[in-house]
Chain A
Amino acid sequence: MSSYYSRSPPPLQHPVPTHPAFIPEPPSTPGPGSPPQGYHRYQPQPHIPDFAAWGMNDSTAQFGMQLGQSAVAAGHEYVQKNFGGFIPLSHLKHHFNVSNSYVMKKLQILFFPWRHRPWSRRVRRSEAGHTEWQPPRDDINSPDLYIPLMAFVTYILISALQTGLQDRFHPQILGASASRALVVLLLDLLFVKGGCYLLNVQSSSQVTDLVAYGGYKFVGVILTLLTGLVNPSRTIYLLVFSYAFAANAFFLLRSLRSVVLPDLSSTTTPVTVSHAQRKRRITFLFLEAVMQVIYMGILIRV
C-alpha cells in the first residue's frame, strides 16, 4: 500500500480533488478530551463507512480494518520474499535500456551481419569492484530483450493476419502460435545450455542473454512471413527464407563465439582449452547455427 502512495500523483493542476474529501474535524465535536486524541488517531485512509448506524461499534470496525490492512501487507511481503528473487528486476531493466539508434543499427546487423566488424561486448566501469557489461544503449553488441519481445508479439499478430487473409482465422490461432513460439525458444535455450554444460564451458552466459540471442530469429521469420503475404512464387519465398536463415545463423555464430570459445585476448580468463576441446566447441557452434533452420521452419508453418 505504501508503494502506491509513494507513486501517487503530485498535487494536481486543477483545484478539484480526485479522491474523496478528507474532513479531519467532524462538525459536532464530541467531548472535552477527544479532539487531541481525534487528531492523534487520524490516519489518511479512504472513507470508512459509519458502522455505528448499522449497529456495530465503531472501534470494532476500526480494528477490523486495521487487521485487514495488516493481512494484505503480510501477504504482499510473503510474495516479495519468496517470488521476488526469481526474476531479478534490475537485470531485466538492463536489457530494456535501449535507444532508437540502437534498435535501428541492431536491425541492420540482423538483416546484414556479414560486414559487421567487432563482435565483442564492451565491459563497463567497475562499480563497487565488479565489472559488468555495458547497457545496450552504449554497446551495439550487447543483447537486449526489447527486439526479441517485440518480434515475438509481431510474429503472433502477423501469423493471425495471414490466417485471416487465407480465410481460416480463429481466435485460438493466437494462442497456438504463441505456444509454438515459446516452445521453440525453450528448445533452443535448452540446447545451448545443455551444450555448454556438457562441454564444460566455464563462463556460460546468463539465461536472459541466451533468451535474447534465441529471440532474434523471430526477425528473420517475420521477414519471411511478410514476403509470404504478398504471394510471391515458390522460389522467391524459399530464397528469402534461406537468406533469413543464413543471416540468423551467421549472427548466432559470431555472437555465441564469445560465449563458448574462450577469448584469448582478454586478461580476466586464465582458462585454456585443449585443441580437441576447441574443435568440439566449434562443432557445437556450427550445430547450433544449423539447427536454426529447423526452428525457423517450424515457425513459418503458421
Chain B
Amino acid sequence: MASRRLHKLTSRSSLEGAVNTGGVTPSYGGSIQQSGGWWTAFGTGGFEGEPPLLEELGINFSHIQAKSMTVLNPLQHVDEHIMDDADLAGPLLFFFCFGMLLLLSGKPQFGYIYGFGLLGSISIYTLLNLMSDKGIDVYRVVSVLGYCLLPMVGVGAVSVVVTLDGVLGYMLSILSIIWCTYAASGIFVAVLRMSDQRLLVAYPVALLYGCFALLSVFNVGAGRAGVGR
C-alpha cells in the first residue's frame, strides 16, 4: 500500500518535472491527460473528462437502427448523407449474426464469409472508384455492403428452421438477393451521385450477394460436392 502511494507520487513528480524543465517540447500532444499510470484503466475510478464507452467506440445504436430501417425499406428516398459516418459496428454485427445463423443451421462457414466479404468489398471499391467521378473510401463501401446484408440475415434465420435446398428456398434466396441489391445500389448511386448507372452498380453487387446466398443454400464443403443435390 505504502509502496503504491510512493510510486504514484514519484510518477506524478516525474511528469511535472518533465513539464517544468522542458518548456520547448511540451509533453502533451492533445491526448487525454492521465492523472495516474496505465493501471487506472482497470480500476473503477476512470479518468477525468473521459467520454462514455459507447461514444468513444463510436457505436450509436439509434443510428444503426435508422440505417437498418433504410435498408429494410428500400422504396423510400435515400438521403445522400446517411452513410457519412462509415460506421463498421453495424456491419460487423450483421456479418457475425449471419455466420452464427449459418452455424446453427449446420453450415459453419465463417472462413468463406470472411473471404467473400473481403474480396468482394475490395472489388466493389475498385469498380466504384473507376466508375464514378466522386471517389469513395473503402470503409464506406464495407459499411454499405454490410448494412445491406440484413435481408440475407433474415433468410439465414429461416434456414435454421427450414432447409433452403428446395424450390421455396430458391425463391426466397433470389428474393433476398434482389432486395439486398436494390438497397445497396440505391445507396451507392445516391452517395456517389452517379447518373444512369444504377443497373451497372447493381450487377456486381448482385454477384457478390449471390455468393453469400450460395453459402446459405448449399453446404460448400471442401472436396465434397453438395451443390445441386
A16 to chain B, nearest CB (A): 5
Roughly how many angstroms separate A58 CA and B25 CA in the complex, as a whole number?
Answer: 9
Asked if A42 and B29 sit within 8 Å, CB to CB, the answer is yes
- How many positions in chain A have a CB within 8 Å of any CB in the partner chain? 67
Determine which of A27, A99, A103, A154 lies in contact with B49 in the assembled complex, contact meaning CB atoms within 8 Å: A27
Binds B, one of A5-13, A118-126, A220-228, A231-239: A5-13
A283 to chain B, nearest CB (A): 37
B178 to chain A, nearest CB (A): 17
Asked if A170 and B223 sit within 8 Å, CB to CB, the answer is yes
Determine which of B14, B55, B81, B200 lies in contact with A16 in the assembled complex, contact meaning CB atoms within 8 Å: B55
Asked if A12 and B84 sit within 8 Å, CB to CB, the answer is yes
- How many positions in chain B have a CB within 8 Å of any CB in the partner chain? 62
Which residues 146-205 of B sit at the A interface, judged by CB distance below 8 A?
Answer: 195-200, 203-204
Say yes or no for A200: interface residue by CB 8 A criterion: no
Which residues 20-43 of A sit at the B interface, judged by CB distance below 8 A?
Answer: 20-24, 26-28, 30-31, 33-34, 37-38, 41-43
Which residues 35-64 of B sit at the A interface, judged by CB distance below 8 A?
Answer: 35-38, 48-49, 51, 55-56, 58, 60, 62-63
CB closest residue in chain A, given B201: A100
Determine which of A16, A24, A44 lies in contact with B58 in the assembled complex, contact meaning CB atoms within 8 Å: A16
Q: A34-B19, A171-B222 are in contact. Are A13 and B81 (CB under 8 A)?
A: yes
Q: Which residues of B contact A12 (CB under 8 A)?
A: 84-85
Say yes or no for B27: interface residue by CB 8 A criterion: yes
Q: Which residues of A contact B19 (CB under 8 A)?
A: 30-31, 34
Say yes or no for B106: interface residue by CB 8 A criterion: no
Q: Which residues of A contact B29 (CB under 8 A)?
A: 41-43, 45, 48, 58, 62
Say yes or no for B73: interface residue by CB 8 A criterion: no
Asked if B137 and A4 sit within 8 Å, CB to CB, the answer is yes
Asked if B24 and A37 sit within 8 Å, CB to CB, the answer is yes
Asked if B140 and A103 sit within 8 Å, CB to CB, the answer is no
Which residues 119-178 of A sit at the B interface, judged by CB distance below 8 A?
Answer: 137, 146, 149-150, 153-154, 157, 161, 164-171
CB closest residue in chain B, given A164: B227
Roughly how many angstroms separate A167 CA and B204 CA in the complex, as a whole number?
Answer: 26
Q: Is the interface of B mostly helix, strand, loop or mixed?
A: loop
Roughly how many angstroms separate A33 CA and B23 CA in the complex, as a whole number?
Answer: 7
Q: How many A-B residue pairs have CB under 8 A?
A: 159
| B203-219 interface bits toward A, Cβ cutoff 8 Å, 1 = contact, 0 = none | 11001001100000010
Roughly how many angstroms separate A5 CA and B203 CA in the complex, as a whole number?
Answer: 31
Asked if A47 and B200 sit within 8 Å, CB to CB, the answer is no
Asked if B84 and A23 sit within 8 Å, CB to CB, the answer is no
Asked if B86 and A9 sit within 8 Å, CB to CB, the answer is yes
Binds B, one of A90-98, A268-276, A293-301: A90-98
Determine which of A16, A44, A170 lies in contact with B60 in the assembled complex, contact meaning CB atoms within 8 Å: A16
CB closest residue in chain B, given A95: B130
Say yes or no for A117: interface residue by CB 8 A criterion: no
Asked if A96 and B28 sit within 8 Å, CB to CB, the answer is no
Q: Which residues of A contact B63 (CB under 8 A)?
A: 14, 16
Q: Which residues of A contact B (CB under 8 A)?
A: 4, 7-10, 12-14, 16-24, 26-28, 30-31, 33-34, 37-38, 41-45, 47-50, 52-54, 57-59, 62, 92-93, 96-101, 103, 137, 146, 149-150, 153-154, 157, 161, 164-171
| Given A27-B35, A100-B200; 8 other pairs, CB 8 A cutoff | A17-B55, A19-B58, A21-B56, A41-B25, A58-B27, A100-B196, A146-B200, A164-B227
